[in-house]
């Protein structure tokens, strides 16, 4: 699964992206210099805590944030050869839902409560595929069938509140897939769901990725979901990507202290029950208070003067495995020294 | 849907019961009985007793109440001593001007309030929003009678574009009818428009950042459809309530405006009947106005069900 898509074409390329919100006194960088590319058919995972800027980054690809607050951009997002950030906002409606779709975290609040499932699904098809009402209805049933909804004929007549959480998320997925997008952004699609339903939804995304060859940008804070799904992973912290690698590589030899922290937080069945779970000390600092040097220095156990003063460069540890840390080499030695 | 309608209509029964008792008491509780107020201060106790007996006001409470309810249901709402005509007929004659005025005022209200309410919410924080909110604040605060007199002075006396006061029935031509109603409709409508603008703005603000609005945009839905399809229908229940209340208020509460503009509507009727202690007319008008109010609310409730499916399913 890991290196299947290495040779295929780059679909989306984010270059030096900064997303700045207007704060009370200054501009706040929610995304601070992100580089990320997604190949065709690839599932790229972005992992990070709340406030790491992963959702803002994903919504910036569709420029959804502009409707809700003052946003400034730097850098570029190349999709199909054009810079999305340079397009007039009105023409985004041709890309949204058509070439790039998104599934959000909470399916109940993401579906409009006063329209039927059928109405909301047909809307996309009639808009982008210029289908008639009848054609859109038939296609909607077909799509609901694809996402494993039992009796889709009944489902399209129902309102979102009449469905269970899992069914609602399937509807969201069906809606996102309606126009066969080249890229699906899944923004924590399983966070609001039961564990069993989570599994089904993840399997569904993998299956559809294989069947339709669509790329997926998978945003999560669930590392096990990540391991199961993604070809490669980016670890995000306070608006920056601190480590990137193929999934197996990342789990085998995590280089950034933050990544290690995250991985050590996963409870395992084979550890002693009495043993306390390790945690990363502290919280993500607010955007008004971003550290000067390495963004992680306030919580890093290895941080020294240099980390606090100078921003670390991105270093390639092994081909395809990049890390943004002053200490990534030393950490290994120190660990050995301790042992 | 049919069961929802039926439920709503059945729920009116207790409302009607309480309402009928209260309205009946209006007449029953007059000190000395209705005869005393009909005959005036100079009447002797014998005369009062005689009239009370003639009208049946010395019978037991329940008998009188039952009798009154049956008469009301049969369409016999009593007779006006002053106008020498059945109360229901008097109400009918005075209702047309009030209704016309209410409709005109409501149309004026909606033309301004809904678009500006939506615009202010959509562009909240901008100059458009600030101006709309400030103007509507003034609109709510300005007393109706002051505005009426100002409009009369400006358009009636100084500019002479419109008649100062008076009323022309629909039979005298629609244009003429409208000319007379314009100023009172505006002076009533300003406060209503200000109120509904604020309600529209706040209920639109509530849905502005909902997840489903983001979803709609993420689907590629154009901004016009985002606002008018996805936002407005969700904001509609609050707006409909405000419209229902304002229309109910316009039908029942135009006494000052009708008096100022000399419009022979229900407001004028109730003022004159209160002045003349024409108790059956007072009772009749209060009953009628209450019925209309209840009816308007019923219509609003039924449209809720059309707008928000969660309501008819009883899930909200």
**What is the average per-residue pLDDT within A184-205?**
86
Q: Do A102 and B218 touch (CB under 8 A)?
A: yes
**Taking CB atoms and an 8 Å cutoff, what residues of chain B touch A68?**
209, 214
Q: Which two tokens stand for residue A206?
A: 């993998």
Query: Which of A160, A178, A196 is the last residue before a domain boundary?
Result: A178
Per-residue pLDDT tens for A131-171? 999 999 999 999 998 888 899 999 999 999 999 988 999 99
A293 and A206 assigned to the same domain: yes
Q: Which residues on B lie below 8 Å from A67 (Cβ)? A: 214, 217
CATH number of the domain encompassing residue A304: 3.40.50.300
Q: What is the pLDDT of residues B99-137, one digit of tens each?
A: 999 999 999 999 999 999 999 999 998 999 999 999 999
Question: What secondary structure letter does DSSP report for A116?
Answer: -
**A295 and A146 both lie in a single domain:** no
Domain boundary, last residue among A163, A178, A193? A178
Determine whether the interchain pair A62/B308 forms a contact, defined as Cβ–Cβ distance below 8 Å: no
State the pLDDT confidence band at A339, using cuts at 50, 70 and 90: very low
- Residue B308 has its nearest CB partner, among A90, A97, A114, at A114
Same domain, A149 and A186: no
A46 & A144 share domain: no
CA dist B10 → A146, A279, B2, B15, B20 (Å): 45, 60, 12, 10, 16
Residue A324: its pLDDT value, please? 92
What DSSP character marks residue A296? T
Query: Quick check: A172 and B215 CB within 8 A?
Result: yes
Q: B314 vs B235, B304, B308, B309, CA distance in Å?
A: 18, 12, 10, 9
B31's tokens: 């000190």
A139 and A266 part of one domain:
no
pLDDT in the model for residue B212: 95
A129 domain residue, yes or no: yes
pLDDT recorded at residue A2:
43
Reported as a pLDDT band with limits 50, 70 and 90, residue A5 is very low
Looking at the fold, whether A152 and A230 belong to one and the same domain comes out as no
Q: For the segment B287-298, what is each residue's pLDDT rounded down to a tens digit?
A: 998 898 899 989
Does residue A2 sit within a domain?
no
Contact: B211, A106; criterion CB under 8 Å: yes
B211, two tokens: 């997840």
Q: In what order do the strands lie in the sheet with A82-83?
A: A27-39, A10-22, A71-79, A82-83
Instruction: Clarify whether residues A32 and A92 are in a common domain.
Output: yes
Q: Read off the pLDDT of residues A29-76 as tens digits, 9 standing for 90 and up.
A: 999 999 999 999 999 999 988 888 899 999 999 999 988 888 999 999
Domains of chain B: 2-72 (no CATH), 92-276 (1.10.3720.10)
Alpha-carbon span A335 to A302, nearest angstrom: 11
**Alpha-carbon span A120 to A198, nearest angstrom:** 23
Angle at B133 between CA B127 and CA B137, to 5 degrees: 145
Range B270-290 average pLDDT: 87
CA-CA distance, A135 to A116, in Å (whole number)? 17
- When divided into structural domains, chain A yields a total of 2
Q: Which residue of B has its CA nearest to A63?
A: B218
User: Choosing among B123, B219, B237, B308, which should be mutated to test the A contact, i.e. which has the most A CBs within 10 A?
Assistant: B219
| Mean pLDDT of the B138-166 span | 90
pLDDT of residue A196: 82
Q: How confident is the model at residue A3 (pLDDT cuts 50, 70, 90)?
A: very low
CB distance B220–A97 less than 8 Å?
Answer: yes
pLDDT of residue B44: 81
Domain boundary among A143, A178, A213: A178
- Whether the Cβ atoms of residue B141 and residue B128 lie closer than 8 Å to each other: no
CB-closest option in B214, B221, B233 to A104: B214
Whether residue B220 and residue A90 make contact (CB cut-off 8 A), yes or no, is: no
Model confidence band, residue B253 (pLDDT cutoffs 50, 70, 90): low
Residue of A79 and B170 predicted with greater confidence: A79
Place of tokens 């042992």: A339
> Can you tell me whether residue A11 is helix, strand or coil?
strand
A240 and A260 in a single domain? The answer is: yes
The domain in which residue A157 lies consists of 110-178
Partnered with residue A15 across adjacent β-strands are: A76
A105 within some domain = no
């Amino acid at each position: 699964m890991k290196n299947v898509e290495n040779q295929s074409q780059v679909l989306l390329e984010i270059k030096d992206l900064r997303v700045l919100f207007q704060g009370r006194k200054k501009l706040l960088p929610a995304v601070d210099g992100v580089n990320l590319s997604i190949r065709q058919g690839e599932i790229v995972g972005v992992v990070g805590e709340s406030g790491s800027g992963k959702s803002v980054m994903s919504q910036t690809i569709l420029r959804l944030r502009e409707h809700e607050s003052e946003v400034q951009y730097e850098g570029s997002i190349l999709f199909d050869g054009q810079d999305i950030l340079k397009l007039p906002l009105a023409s985004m409606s041709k890309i949204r839902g058509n070439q790039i779709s998104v599934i959000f975290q909470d399916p109940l609040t993401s579906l409009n409560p006063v329209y039927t499932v059928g109405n909301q699904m047909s809307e996309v098809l009639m808009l982008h595929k210029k289908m008639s009402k009848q054609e859109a209805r038939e296609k909607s049933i077909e799509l609901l069938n694809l996402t494993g909804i039992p009796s889709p004929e009944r489902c399209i007549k129902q309102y979102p509140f009449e469905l269970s959480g899992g069914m609602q998320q399937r509807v969201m997925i069906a809606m996102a897939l309606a126009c066969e997008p080249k890229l699906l952004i899944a923004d924590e699609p399983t966070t609001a769901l039961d564990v069993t339903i989570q599994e089904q939804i993840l399997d569904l995304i993998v299956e559809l990725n294989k069947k339709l060859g669509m790329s997926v940008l998978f945003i999560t804070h669930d590392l096990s979901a990540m391991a199961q799904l993604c070809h490669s992973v980016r670890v995000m912290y306070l608006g920056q990507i601190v480590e990137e690698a193929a999934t197996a590589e990342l789990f085998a030899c995590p280089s950034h202290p933050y990544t290690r922290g995250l991985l050590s937080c996963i409870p395992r069945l084979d550890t002693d029950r009495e043993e306390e779970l390790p945690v990363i000390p502290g919280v993500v600092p607010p955007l008004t208070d971003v550290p000067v040097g390495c963004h992680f220095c306030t919580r890093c156990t290895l941080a020294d003067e240099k980390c606090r003063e100078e921003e670390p460069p991105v270093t390639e540890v092994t081909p395809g495995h990049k890390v943004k840390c002053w200490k990534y080499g030393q950490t290994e030695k120190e660990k050995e020294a301790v042992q | 849907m049919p069961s929802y309608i039926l439920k709503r209509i059945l729920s009116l029964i207790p409302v009607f019961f309480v309402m009928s008792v209260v309205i009946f008491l209006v007449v029953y509780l007059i000190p000395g009985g209705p005869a005393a107020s009909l005959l005036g201060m100079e009447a002797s106790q014998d005369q009062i007793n005689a009239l009370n007996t003639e009208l049946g006001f010395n019978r037991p409470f329940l008998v009188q109440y039952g009798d009154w309810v049956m008469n009301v249901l049969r369409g016999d709402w009593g007779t006006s001593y002053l106008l020498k005509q059945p109360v229901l007929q008097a109400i009918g004659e005075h209702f047309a001007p009030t209704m016309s005025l209410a409709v005109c005022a409501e149309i004026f209200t909606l033309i301004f309030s809904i678009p500006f309410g939506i615009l202010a919410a959509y562009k909240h924080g901008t100059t458009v929003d600030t101006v709309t909110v400030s103007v509507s604040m003034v609109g709510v605060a300005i007393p109706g009678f002051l505005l009426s007199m100002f409009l009369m002075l400006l358009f009636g006396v100084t500019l002479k574009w419109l008649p100062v006061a008076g009323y022309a029935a629909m039979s005298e031509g629609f244009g003429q009818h409208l000319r007379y109603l314009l100023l009172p409709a505006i002076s009533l409508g300003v406060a209503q428009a200000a109120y509904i603008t604020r309600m529209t703005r706040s209920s639109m603000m509530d849905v502005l950042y909902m997840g489903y609005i983001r979803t709609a945009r993420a689907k590629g839905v154009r901004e016009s459809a985002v606002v008018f399809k996805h936002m407005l229908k969700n904001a509609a229940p609050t707006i409909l309530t405000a419209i229902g209340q304002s229309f109910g208020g316009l039908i029942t509460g135009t006494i000052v405006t009708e008096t100022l503009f000399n419009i022979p509507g229900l407001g004028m009727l109730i003022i004159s009947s209160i002045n003349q202690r024409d108790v059956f007319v007072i009772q009749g008008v209060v009953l009628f106005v209450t019925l209309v109010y209840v009816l308007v609310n019923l219509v609003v409730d039924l449209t809720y069900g059309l707008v928000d499916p969660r309501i008819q399913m009883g899930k909200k």
